[in-house]
């Protein structure tokens, strides 16, 4: 909170350093808000250890919540990927490097998970909707996953996932295209306009990306892996596919 206020002041004044008189009140206010926001409730029926207390018994979790969120450590094997994830196999990047990093230094950035709906086999209790690469690495290492439980609906999950991936390994245009198509087909968003608005996409950008989904089936099958097809070629093929002959 203090940092945000200082940055706002820098934007407003253009100064490199904020006035000294500004710092102390902002820091004190931020500390006050932080103390008020930290609840002390303990959920005794939880089976997962929560972070936040050095004295906590692993079988008796201590609470670490802000609003409706919980920071936890959970076996990666109890988490499955969201079926509407936007990252596919061609978008995984340097997984061996990530696995080696987490093995050596641990997982620094939590993933976002939510409880699975209804009963589920194999002991699965949650699904990851942001942080698929980190979950994959932790599962490969067979270690606990550092995660934030944030129980959101599918539309919120899609928006968070889109934002979370902005600074991650590059996702191919084809993966984005078929992900957006799935969101529309599953009625997560009622229309292309609503999807573009919610995900902060230009309408023309979304239309261009969806070109991958409009390539005539025989042409797409002949190409094979559409992830290697540049967007400019996908747009041409989608246009030609309007007249199959």
3-state SS of 47-58 is: CCCECCCCCCEC
Pull the structure tokens for residue 124: 């699965």
* 144-149 sheet: strands from edge to edge: 65-66, 69-75, 144-149, 111-115, 126-130, 79-81
pLDDT in tens, 43-83: 334 444 444 433 333 333 333 334 568 899 999 999 999 98
How would DSSP label each residue in 171-202? PPHHHHHHHHHHHHHTTSSSSHHHHHHHTT--
What does pLDDT average to in each consecutive run of 10 residues of the chain (245 residues)? 65 52 54 53 41 38 51 93 83 85 91 86 88 92 94 93 69 92 95 94 95 94 93 95 85
CB contact set of 56 (below 8 Å; sequence gap of 6+): 49, 50, 62
Closest CA to 47 of 38, 57, 37: 57
The single residue listed with the structure tokens 């206020």 is: 5
Task: State how far the Cα of 196 lies from the Cα of 42, in Å rounded to an integer.
Answer: 40
* Residue-wise pLDDT tens digits, 116-136: 987 777 789 999 999 989 999
Quote the CA–CA distance of 30 and 196 in Å, as a whole number: 35
What pLDDT is attached to residue 42?
37
Beta bridge partners of 112: 130, 148
Go through the chain and tell me how many residues it has.
Answer: 245
In eight-state DSSP terms, residue 63 is P
Per-residue confidence (pLDDT) for residue 166, from 0 to 100: 54
pTM beyond 0.75, yes or no: no
């Amino acid at each position: 909170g203090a940092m945000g206020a200082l940055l706002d002041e820098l934007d407003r004044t253009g100064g490199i350093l904020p006035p000294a008189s500004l710092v102390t009140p902002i820091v004190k206010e931020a500390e006050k808000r932080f103390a008020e926001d930290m609840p002390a409730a303990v959920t005794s029926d939880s089976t997962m250890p929560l972070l936040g207390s050095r004295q906590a018994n692993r079988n008796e979790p201590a609470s670490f919540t802000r609003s409706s969120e919980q920071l936890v450590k959970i076996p990666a094997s109890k988490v499955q990927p969201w079926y509407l994830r936007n990252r596919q196999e061609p978008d995984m990047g340097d997984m061996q490097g990530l696995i080696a990093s987490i093995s050596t230094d641990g997982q620094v950035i939590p993933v976002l998970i939510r409880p699975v709906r209804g009963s589920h086999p194999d002991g699965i209790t949650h699904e990851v909707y942001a942080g698929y690469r980190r979950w994959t690495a932790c599962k490969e290492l067979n270690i606990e996953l550092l995660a934030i439980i944030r129980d959101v609906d599918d539309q919120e999950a899609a928006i968070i996932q889109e934002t979370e991936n902005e600074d991650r390994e590059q996702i191919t245009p084809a993966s984005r295209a078929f992900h957006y198509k799935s969101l529309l087909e599953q009625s997560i968003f009622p229309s292309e306009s609503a999807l573009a608005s919610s995900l902060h996409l230009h309408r023309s950008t979304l239309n261009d990306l969806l070109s991958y989904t409009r390539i005539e089936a025989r042409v797409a099958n002949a190409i094979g892996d559409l992830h290697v097809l540049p967007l400019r070629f996908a747009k041409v093929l989608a246009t030609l596919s309007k007249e199959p002959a």
